[in-house]
């Protein structure tokens, strides 16, 4: 990889094995795994990152197979700071890492946050938007 990697506030790990982040538990390492502290950290990191460095965002690993040789560049894994779901009137705003089933449950229950139940499901909102 040719570009320099900026120093974020979140966790930046070199040569991080990705098999533990996929449901099939197979695959090689990421050259760099970045877990941003929050959206500002993510924006600052991406703004400072050399544009020649490949960036590969991942969700919860349900639809992901990583080759044994790994992934060059920076793999971005969004965590808890990106899972928020807010309800304002009839509008729902969901973070990119919010699980699609959790968002669906909020909508199904009449946008009542007290009835929200977290459960394991194949995919965060960011993947749902891209795939569907």
Residues 25, 73: one domain?
yes
Task: Residue 70: give its domain's CATH number.
Answer: 3.30.43.10
Residues 93, 61: one domain?
no
Q: What is the pLDDT of residue 123?
A: 58
Q: Are 69 and 109 in contact (CB under 8 A)?
A: no
Residues 91, 70: one domain?
no
Q: Could you tell me if residue 34 is inside a domain?
A: yes
Residues 37, 61: one domain?
yes
Residues 88, 73: one domain?
no
Residues 33, 88: one domain?
no
* Mean pLDDT of the region 50-78: 93
Q: Please state, in angstroms and rounded to a whole number, the distance separating the CA atoms of residues 114 and 87.
A: 11
Q: What is the pLDDT of residue 2?
A: 55
Report the candidate in 131, 132, 108 with the shortest Cα–Cα distance to residue 119.
108
Structural domain span for residue 105: 83-131
Q: What is the pLDDT of residue 51?
A: 95
Q: Please state, in angstroms and rounded to a whole number, the distance separating the CA atoms of residues 127 and 114.
A: 25
pLDDT tens digit sequence for 65-79: 999 999 999 999 999
Q: What is the pLDDT of residue 112?
A: 54
pLDDT tens digit sequence for 6-18: 999 999 999 999 9
Residues 48, 26: one domain?
yes
pLDDT tens digit sequence for 71-121: 999 999 999 999 988 887 778 888 888 888 888 887 777 655 444 444 444
| Strand bridging mode 11-17 / 29-35 | antiparallel
Report the candidate in 103, 107, 100 with the shortest Cα–Cα distance to residue 121.
100
Residues 48, 63: one domain?
yes
Give Cα 128 distance to the centre of its chain.
Answer: 12
pLDDT tens digit sequence for 24-41: 999 999 999 999 999 999
CA distances from 1 to 4, 49, 123 (A): 8, 12, 29
pTM of the model: 0.77
Residues 16, 73: one domain?
yes
Q: What is the pLDDT of residue 115?
A: 44
The first and second tokens of residue 87, run together, are: 């309800």
Q: Are 60 and 124 in contact (CB under 8 A)?
A: yes
Q: Could you tell me if residue 5 is inside a domain?
A: no
Q: Are 97 and 124 in contact (CB under 8 A)?
A: yes
Q: Quickly state the pLDDT bin for 126 (edges 50, 70, 90).
A: low
């Amino acid at each position: 990889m040719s570009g320099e990697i900026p120093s974020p506030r979140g966790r930046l790990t070199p040569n991080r094995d990705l098999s533990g982040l996929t449901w099939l538990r197979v695959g090689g390492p990421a050259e760099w795994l970045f877990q941003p502290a929050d959206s500002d950290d993510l924006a600052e990191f991406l703004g400072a990152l050399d544009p020649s460095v490949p960036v590969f965002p991942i969700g919860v690993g349900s639809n992901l197979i990583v080759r044994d040789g790994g992934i060059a560049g920076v793999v971005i894994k969004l965590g808890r700071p990106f899972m928020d779901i807010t309800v304002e009137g009839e509008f729902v705003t969901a973070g990119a890492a919010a699980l699609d089933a959790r968002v669906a449950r909020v909508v199904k229950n009449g946008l009542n946050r007290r009835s929200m139940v977290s459960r394991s499901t194949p995919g965060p909102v960011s993947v749902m938007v891209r795939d569907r």
